[in-house]
Amino acid sequence: MVWRRHWARKVHAWPNTLGMSQYADGGVTASKPYAATGEYVARMSPHCKSCRYDPARRTGTLAFPFFTFYWDFLLRHQSILDGNPCVALQVKNLTRQDDARRLAVRDRAGAIQRGEVGAADHA
């Protein structure tokens, strides 16, 4: 019986976890997207210790691509996320960025997606 309760909890969590990780439904199954800064990844993971990227940088050749994508996601979806109290602090942090920084984030994210920057830069 214990395994059935455990299994039921896991099955119940799938839609929320999927909704958070994909956020493809616009927040129907989850209250917020599962996105994190580079500093959070560095704190929660041992992988950043030997990485060439700086988890605190948003732009530049040493910027952690995950962090660049985090800020790019917030910029692209700011109008949707603006009314979500679960991400109010993150959206508020966008207002502190000037246009040049926002453009640099968007440009770097686009370059990474097109394969123009990345692992080959440091080979």
CATH number of the domain bearing residue 98: 1.10.10.1710
Q: Output the pTM of the full model.
A: 0.70
Let me know if residue 20 belongs to a domain.
Answer: no
Amino acid at 23: Y
Amino acid at 30: A
Number of domains in the chain: 1
Distance of CA 87 to the CA centre of its chain: 12
Let me know if residue 75 belongs to a domain.
Answer: yes
Q: What distance in Å separates the CA atoms of residue 52 and residue 49, rounded to the nearest whole number?
A: 9
Q: Among 17-26, 59-68, 84-93, which is the least confidently predicted range?
A: 17-26
Let me know if residue 80 belongs to a domain.
Answer: yes
Instruction: Say what the pLDDT of residue 100 is.
Output: 94
Let me know if residue 49 belongs to a domain.
Answer: yes
DSSP code for 63: B
Q: Is the pLDDT of residue 122 over 80?
A: no
Let me know if residue 9 belongs to a domain.
Answer: no
Which token pair is 97? 């960025």
Average pLDDT over the chain, rounded to an integer = 76
DSSP code for 108: H
Q: Where in the sequence is the domain holding 98, given as residue range(s)?
A: 41-123
Percent of the residues in the chain that have a pLDDT greater than 70, as a whole number: 67
Let me know if residue 32 belongs to a domain.
Answer: no
Which token pair is 105? 């984030």
